[in-house]
Amino acid sequence: MRYVRTAALALLAACGLAAPFAHAQWQALPDKAPEPTDNPTTPEKVALGRMLYLDPRFSSTGTVSCNSCHNVMLGGEDNRPFAMGVHGQMSGRSAPTVWNSAFYSGQFWDGRAASLEEQAKGPVVNAVEMGMKELDGAMNRVRHIEGYRVAFAKAFGPDAMTVDNAAKAVAAYERTLITPNGPFDRFVKGDKSALSEQQQRGMDLFASAGCIACHSGPAFSGPMLPNGMAFLNKFPTFTDNDYVEKYDFLKDLGRFEVTKNDADKHLFKVPTLRNIALTAPYFHNGAVQTLDEAVRVMAKTQLNRDLSDTEAADLVAFLNALTGEFPEQTMPRLPPTPGTTFEFSSAQ
């Protein structure tokens, strides 16, 4: 998969963006997420995807679902420094939020998946996450449940119980997980009372300091790039500061872990700032506990700037305005297996 590397200051200059920013640079979150031509969203796919997303039976232990780490009853993650999978194993990175993930140009912290469909397959066969040995083994469990056979037929037609279609259904559900119409969105659309004076100061500082160079676009996660491209940035960019050692930011080599290309060391997908107030702890290693500390860390490690207490408070106030309206989540009745069950793994 191709990707775009960027440094905030260089991109800021290259794009000709400088303070004061015109408010035309700001984008409200659309009411509908983009969808690929080969997987149009339908109610039947969404209903099936919701069931698959919430069903733990497709993990090796029968205890971990997509929702375990990406909880749609919360901020779309689990509020842990590291995600927990089967047998209580801890992954090496914090779970990113699933809310508004349809607006990312790449998935996972290292951008290794080009689409939601591709991403949906990864955790199932990850030894730490859901722990299945192969995707078809998980799919065989689905095939043995009558209710799922009916749901797949409704969503995709007969003889459609494939791994690819399961991933398409999960992705279709995830594309409904968007949170538009937050205070920021209402402000951009013309309601000038939607943001407080402090939030507006934070908004101006977010732009003039250069934060928007990477955290741009409707999801504040960078531009929507052509299919197959991921928007990645080096983190940390400036390493001569106390934060880097305090939070052990150089331990994780980021994209390099996938490509083994030295140029990819410490490259990470630019995360969304939508609903950021709800998704502590922060960064790929979940090392920072508060949003106030997170903005100070970002200013120093990415822009080489020390924030005053007032500036930090203004930025936090603005980021709180990025919390949107969450669509109601109705828990589905999962298809049962009357009189029988699967053989789950009880040993590591």
Q: Which residues are catalytic?
A: 129
Chain center to CA of 184: 20
Q: Is the peptide bond before 123 cis (omega within 30 degrees of 0)?
A: no
Give the residue carrying structure tokens 């780490």: 69
Terminal C-alpha separation, the chain: 33
What φ, ψ does residue 323 adopt, rounded to 5°? -75, 120
| Residue 232 to residue 109: CA distance in whole angstroms | 9
Query: Which helix (DSSP H) or strand (DSSP E) does residue 4 occupy?
Result: strand 2-6
Residue from 287, 271, 284 nearest 319 by CA: 271
Both tokens assigned to 240: 């001569």
Give the residue carrying structure tokens 């490509």: 259
Residue from 119, 29, 81 nearest 289 by CA: 81
Would you say 202 and 21 are in contact if contact means Cβ atoms under 8 Å apart? Answer: no
Give the residue carrying structure tokens 């508060």: 290
Describe the strand order of the beta sheet including 267-269 as a list of residue ranges: 2-6, 229-234, 267-269
